[in-house]
A and B are shown apart, each in its own frame.
Chain A
Amino acid sequence: MNDDEKSVTPEPESDESGSQRPTSLIDRLKKGLSPFIAKGKKDLRAAKDYKRTQVWKSVFRHKLDETPRNRALAVLTNVFLHLQPAKVNRDAIRFGFTWGMGGITLYLFIVLTITGVFLMFYYHPTKGQAYLDIMYLHNDVPFGGLLRNMHRWGAHLMIITVWLHMFRVFLTGSYKTPREFNWSIGVILLVLTLLLSFTGYLLPDDQLGFWAVTVGTNMARATPLLGHEGPFGSLLGMTAYNDVRFALLGGSIVDANALLRAYIWHCIAIPLILAVFLTVHFWRVRKDGSISGPAPVMLESEMKFPRK
């Protein structure tokens, strides 16, 4: 502070003395700028202590010193992290108990969303064009092949991790009270994951996808009551042009409409529905008392049955 004031103070004296020397332009400029320079120096000093600035404080709502309080706040005041509690069971962090498959599934869903959005920039859900887009993407777009491969293998990996997640939840009995409802939500998420993968299968519009979806949707013909080849279907007036398969494909064969429908289900409808169920799933994990264990073992002699 003192240094600044010294450099500024001589200026007014020379002005008041009324000397004949005309004030040079440089001096006048110096004089005019000096308050701003002083402010700038002040700002620079403040920048060294940036954590006390208004901007910093408005973004980060607590200090970062390593205190228990701040460790809790780091999770609680962050929109992405507040999904998790401030503290967890010491044993629950061990890989052995959780296998981490639920978290990996979420991570893969995020990876798939990001790569999927990039893929959408290069893809037209149009018969004829779709296949060419994939060729173009794979051979000409920079990193296009990597993008498509990551999307494909990520999707396969996600199905495996969902199955393993369910397997772990079953083996640890984590679906038992009070987590029954969340298990059911989980089963719906499993269905949506499979449907996401299945609708994506058709999009390259190649022989593999075409016949896989043909085989898959042919089963819908046989739906009881609602399919034209299913039990009692024809009695209810079902034909190839009004049954449930027709509704799925937008036609009686896997063609342009089916491609468009698969695209919209794959990119918009199912991800949105899945996001809703995902939210409920995570919310219930917290509300049902976080991760189920590892809980202390219970003995047969202590068994209590809940009241109905």
Chain B
Amino acid sequence: MDWGQLWEIVSAPDNVPIVAMLFLVPFFTWYGFRQALANDRLIERLSKDPELAKTHHRKVEPYREGWSQKLYVWPHLLRVEFLAAIIVTVILMIWSITLNAPLEEPANPNLTMNPAKAPWYFLGLQEMLVYFDPWIAGVVMPTFILLGLIIIPYVDTNPLGNGYYTFRQRKFAILTFLFGFFVLWLSMVFIGTFIRGPGWMWFWPGQTWDHHRLVFEVNRDLNEIFGIVNQPWVGLFGAAAVGLYFVVFGWLTHKLFVWNDFNRKIFQQMTLVQYLTLQTFLLVMWALPVKIILRLVFRIKYVMVTPWFNI
């Protein structure tokens, strides 16, 4: 265990935000889910007791007869905002006094940094480069992530859970978002920051960064396993493999989507365009973990090889 190495990574000034996120994200997840589960218990109680549902104020927040539902922004909200601004300023001041922003040697194109890392918030994309060619990891995937985020409200036709925390009523949406945010985005950022060392090789936390380390990986393409080596058969085989992925995972996603009665009801309300859009983005999303497993477990580099591009 090389504590010095670990400290060097954790205490690098630009890594401090990620260390902060290690605490902030679990806290807010717990905080949100605590309220979601409280609401879920209320929902269960109310759906069992229609009489209560008619009279209950339907919130878990404290409620007293005669309380005005609305408060004046001045002073009630502005006081909170002012306090928040002061607290953020104090935190930022203390952080800025105690820790200096990084400044390394002047830029030198002849002296390559190893590892050369992108800013921490883009390390997820850089980590994706291990599993996909740059045109997918650097261009197609970011585009799909952003478009995927934008279309969320237009494909999520579930009318429940609008404006309150709940898990029970939105299981599919919440689990998908958590999978994308935690597993595919944040964990990749953490791996890119804490795990990847010189040569973008895998170093466990506390393992010394050995700049002369060599790893002999024998990666092969999927078609080579099947003994197909000549074009155009390689390309056609790859296209078939990708097509098979879309069919199989499309079917699996569909099964997952119509898992229970409630979801089937939601599915019935969707238009074909909404459903196909959802499927497309989910399939592109699943492709990342699938490719990670293919690469890390089965040592497969490309699934589809063509003269112009590889997947």
Contacts and interface: CB of A to CB of B under 8 A. Distances in A.
Interface in A201-220: 201, 204-212, 214-216, 218-220
Interface string B77-121: 110110011001100110111011111111111011100111111
Given A171-B174, A208-B102, A211-B116, A223 B135 contact: yes
A96 B35 CA distance: 8
Interface string A42-77: 000000000000000000000000001001101100
Interface string B161-182: 1111110011001100100010
A88 B71 CA distance: 5
B61 A292 contact: no
Given A153-B92, A184-B150, A297 B164 contact: yes
A160 to B, nearest CB: 6
B116 A172 contact: no
Contact of A149 (B74, B100, B129): B100
A153 B95 contact: yes
Q: Majority SS of interface residues in chain B? A: helix
Contacts, number: 302
B159 A303 contact: yes
A159 interface: yes
B212 interface: no
A103 B153 contact: no
B47 A176 contact: no
B104 A207 contact: yes
B290 interface: no
A86 B162 contact: no
Interface string A238-262: 0000000000000001100000000
A94 B60 CA distance: 12
Q: Majority SS of interface residues in chain A? A: helix
B139 interface: yes
Contacts of A35: none
Contact of B152 (A108, A183, A194): A183
**Size bracket, chain B contacts:** 35 or more
A198 interface: yes
Given A84-B73, A85-B73, A145-B100, A306 B308 contact: no
Interface string B53-77: 1000111010000011111111111
Interface in A252-308: 253-254, 292-301, 303-306, 308
Counting chain B CB atoms within 10 Å of each CB, the highest count among A71, A146, A150, A171 belongs to A171
Please provide the 4 A-B residue pairs with the shortest distance between their CB atoms, ordered closest to farther.
Answer: A219-B138, A295-B163, A293-B163, A180-B153
26 contacts: A72-B74, A84-B77, A91-B61, A93-B76, A103-B81, A107-B88, A149-B101, A160-B21, A167-B181, A171-B36, A173-B166, A176-B159, A190-B149, A194-B121, A207-B105, A207-B106, A208-B14, A208-B102, A211-B113, A212-B118, A227-B135, A293-B163, A295-B162, A297-B59, A300-B169, A301-B50
Interface of B: 14, 16-17, 20-21, 24-25, 28-29, 31-32, 35-36, 39, 42-43, 46-47, 50, 53, 57-59, 61, 67-78, 80-81, 84-85, 88-89, 92-93, 95-97, 99-109, 111-113, 116-122, 125-126, 129, 133-135, 137-140, 146, 149-150, 152-154, 156-157, 159-166, 169-170, 173-174, 177, 181, 262, 265, 269, 271, 308-309
Interface of A: 68, 71-72, 74-75, 81, 84-91, 93-97, 99-100, 103-104, 107-108, 111, 131, 134-135, 138, 145-146, 148-154, 156-157, 159-160, 164, 166-168, 170-177, 179-180, 183-184, 187-188, 190-191, 194, 197-198, 201, 204-212, 214-216, 218-224, 227, 229-232, 235, 253-254, 292-301, 303-306, 308
Given A219-B134, A220-B139, 10 more contacts: A88-B73, A90-B67, A111-B92, A150-B93, A174-B162, A197-B121, A209-B107, A222-B134, A300-B47, A300-B262
